[in-house]
């Protein structure tokens, strides 16, 4: 237990140092974090997540991804999509499909993978995610409309890519002779119904709790976190990987719910002019 506590503390300090270094040299935080993680893990073997966390590793990672995705969804205001909605929709539909097809062909021709394995890899490579896009936007200081488009795409593509990868894997695992197409379509419908249903219901009900102050304001942040994690877990129990869609829909619903914005402590944060983020420590010190 003492070694586990020391390892967890070291991971936290390492992450803090990497983000400080990224701020100093003005590069996306994901870059030094990746380098340090690879160096401390596979290369040197100083940190072994499986040995430290054991069976809790994947559940904790899954919950952490849900928190990141939900926090990003809370910044998605529909008013920002005026004039950009078609661009975002094309990026998360046709853009994702084209990316997957190109990755499949490249994996088959260059890596020599079978078409089945190449299809699974192509579906996985569609995902960009807020953990990659948002740090890049903070460092690149792109124009406001470009930042808004990429932020929407980075957050929305995460559940789309995860669900797509699961469906492609199930299709490949079942094979064409076992009704894979029908099973995949049914799975997609189940994911959509559960994700949008729980996400919408959870966003509306919890938004009403915050809007009417049925919970003390000091518990708003903690309560929101726990309700989100509960819905995420329940959604995944109903259907595998539907939780990411649930928390994204819930976050977007709460971000655009009338009267809910005033009750949220995070809504008072001003947006950065460079990356349109409400919490941009990379850009604010530079104006």
**Residue closest to 8 by CA, chosen among 62, 58, 52:** 52
Confidence band (pLDDT; 50, 70, 90) for 8? Answer: confident
pLDDT in tens, 220-248: 889 999 999 999 999 999 888 788 889 99
C-alpha distance from residue 184 to each of 18, 121, 144, 160, 246 (Å): 41, 17, 39, 15, 19
C-alpha–C-alpha distance, residues 61 and 65, integer Å: 6
- Where residue 257 falls (left for φ over 0; alpha for ψ -120 to 50; beta otherwise) is beta
Question: DSSP readout, 102-146?
Answer: HHHHHHHHTS---HHHHHHHHHHTT---HHHHHHHHHHH---HHH
Q: What's the pLDDT band for 287 if we cut at 50, 70, 90?
A: very low
pTM across the whole model: 0.75
Q: What is the pLDDT of residue 193?
A: 92
More confident residue, 15 or 173: 15
For residue 23, give both structure tokens. 């701020």
Q: How far apart are CA 14 and CA 11, in angstroms?
A: 5
């Amino acid at each position: 237990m003492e070694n586990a506590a020391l390892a967890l503390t070291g991971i936290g300090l390492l992450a803090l140092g990497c983000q400080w270094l990224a701020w100093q040299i003005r590069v996306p935080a994901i870059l030094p974090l990746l380098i340090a993680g690879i160096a401390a893990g596979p290369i040197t073997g100083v940190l072994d997540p499986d040995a430290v966390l054991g069976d809790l590793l994947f559940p904790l990672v899954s919950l952490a991804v849900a928190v990141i995705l939900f926090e990003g969804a809370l910044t998605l205001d529909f008013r920002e999509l005026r004039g950009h909605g078609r661009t975002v929709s094309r990026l998360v539909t046709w853009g994702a499909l084209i990316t997957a097809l190109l990755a499949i062909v490249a994996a088959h021709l260059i890596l020599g993978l079978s078409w089945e394995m190449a299809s699974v890899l192509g579906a996985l490579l569609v995902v960009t995610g807020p953990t990659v896009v948002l740090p890049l936007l903070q460092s690149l200081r792109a124009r406001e409309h470009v930042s808004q488009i990429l932020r929407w795409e980075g957050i929305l593509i995460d559940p789309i890519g995860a669900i797509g990868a699961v469906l492609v894997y199930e299709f490949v695992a079942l094979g064409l002779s076992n009704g894979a197409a029908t099973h995949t379509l049914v799975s997609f419908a189940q994911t959509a119904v559960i994700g949008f249903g729980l996400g919408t219901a959870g966003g509306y009900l919890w938004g009403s709790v915050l809007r009417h102050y049925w919970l003390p304001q000091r518990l708003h942040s903690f309560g929101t976190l726990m309700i989100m994690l509960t819905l995420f877990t329940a959604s995944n129990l109903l259907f595998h990987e539907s939780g990411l869609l649930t928390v994204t829909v819930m976050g977007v619903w709460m971000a655009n719910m009338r009267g809910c914005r005033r009750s949220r402590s995070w809504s008072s944060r001003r947006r950065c002019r460079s990356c349109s983020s409400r919490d941009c420590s990379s850009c604010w010190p530079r104006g």
